[in-house]
Amino acid sequence: MIWGEGSPDFSSSSGSDTKSAVNQGLTEEQLLACIDRSRLPHHIAVIMDGNGRWAQKRKLPRIAGHRAGMRAVRQAVEACRQLGIPYLTLYAFSVENWKRPQTEVDLLMALLREYLKKEMPELQRQNIRLLVIGRMQELPKSVQHDLREALESTRRNTGLQLTLALNYGARAELADAFRKLMRLSKRDRKFRMSEELISQNLYTRGMPDPDLLIRTSGEMRLSNFLLWQAAYAELWVTDTLWPDFTHKDLYQAVFDFQRRERRYGGLGLS
């Protein structure tokens, strides 16, 4: 690890990967200075959870939590851009979320449209490319329309790739991929099933697998998110509710990620 100039010395720490720099009272600037820019995760995926509880704690309607969650989206995007992380994927609406009351679903869809409208100039300014994974064709027509416009207008941007998982479910994604592969196998006599072929037929084709998967609000679940792609992702769970998530939390997650040893089933270096 390359330590930033004047950065705190952790060399005598226990080496526990859960040891938190926040507990050691680091400022956001100090945390930033401690991050080794040559060993950044290529892809960070986030399960944004806790909007409802955030609102409930304040005796506000749930949608106020989702609205506050939109601010946290901005924080995460800015922090990734600041670090130079190439891919950020946010779980914004799952295939299971349709089970929520219709008013909440409608308000979430309205919030998504509002986000696209408000954030587009900033996304363009920051050279961010927007992508969507999930069964987009099942979203309301107005949302599909706005998404298509946003995807098209950021298509040539070369900075951070921001992917929104919308009407997304990992099992649905795998089922869609297997259906495509079955069709392919019937047409091609040389067809050979492989892990690579499965990856290439997922919604995330062309993206690296996430190295770091963040979940807020303390729940220890994957909730049907990127089940195939997250096979070797480092999991980082924080009790912070999503609307309270800031740049500093993201820097903290990256900092902790860099202190872990990734062994991929092997024996590692030590």
Task: Give the residue numbers annotated as catalytic, written as ranges.
Answer: 49, 97
Tell the smallest beta-carbon distance from residue 88 to ligand FPP (Å): 11
For ligand FPP, the closer of residues 94 and 252 by Cβ is: 94
Query: Closest distance between ligand FPP and the C-beta of residue 183, in Å?
Result: 32
Beta bridge partners of 237: 215
Site string for ligand FPP, 124-143 (x = CB under 6 A): --------------------
Q: How far is the CB of 60 from ligand FPP (least distance, A)?
A: 12
CA angle, corner 85, sides to 80 and 88, nearest 5?
70
Q: Count residues contacting ligand FPP (CB under 6 A)? A: 19
Q: Is 254 in the site for ligand FPP (CB under 6 A)?
A: no
210 touches ligand FPP (CB under 6 A):
no
**Closest distance between ligand FPP and the C-beta of residue 212, in Å?**
18
Q: How far is the CB of 56 from ligand FPP (least distance, A)?
A: 7
Q: Locate tokens 């729940």: which residue?
A: 219
Select the residue interacting with ligand FPP from 35, 92, 207, 233 (CB under 6 A).
92
Hey, which residues between 13 and 72 contact ligand FPP (CB under 6 A)? 48-53, 66, 69-70
User: Nearest approach, Cβ of 76 to ligand FPP (angstroms)?
Assistant: 10
Per DSSP, the residues of the chain read -PPPTT----TTS---TT--TTTTT--HHHHHHHS-GGG--SEEEEE---HHHHHHHTT--HHHHHHHHHHHHHHHHHHHHHHT-SEEEEEEEEGGGGGS-HHHHHHHHHHHHHHHHHHHHHHHHTTPEEEEES-GGGS-HHHHHHHHHHHHHTTT--S-EEEEEEEE-HHHHHHHHHHHHHHHHHH-TT----HHHHHHTSTTTTSPPPSEEEE-TT----TTSSTTGGGGPEEEE-SS-GGG--HHHHHHHHHHHHTSPP-TTS----
Of 167, 70, 160, nearest in space to 114 by CA: 70
Name the residue number minimizing CB distance to ligand FPP. Answer: 52
Among residues 33, 105, 111, 136, which is the contact residue for ligand FPP, using CB under 6 A? 111
Asked if 90 touches ligand FPP (CB under 6 A), the answer is: yes
d(CA 57, CA 84): 34
CA dist 3 → 8, 31, 255 (Å): 8, 10, 11
Stretch that binds ligand FPP, among 20-28, 109-117, 195-203, 224-232 (CB under 6 A): 109-117
Using the contact rule CB under 6 A, the part of the chain among 108-116, 147-155, 170-178, 247-255 near ligand FPP is 108-116
**135-194: contacts with ligand FPP (CB under 6 A):** 164
Stretch that binds ligand FPP, among 24-32, 90-98, 148-156, 195-203 (CB under 6 A): 90-98
Catalog residues that contact ligand FPP under the rule CB under 6 A: 48-53, 66, 69-70, 73, 90, 92, 97, 111-112, 115, 164, 217, 242
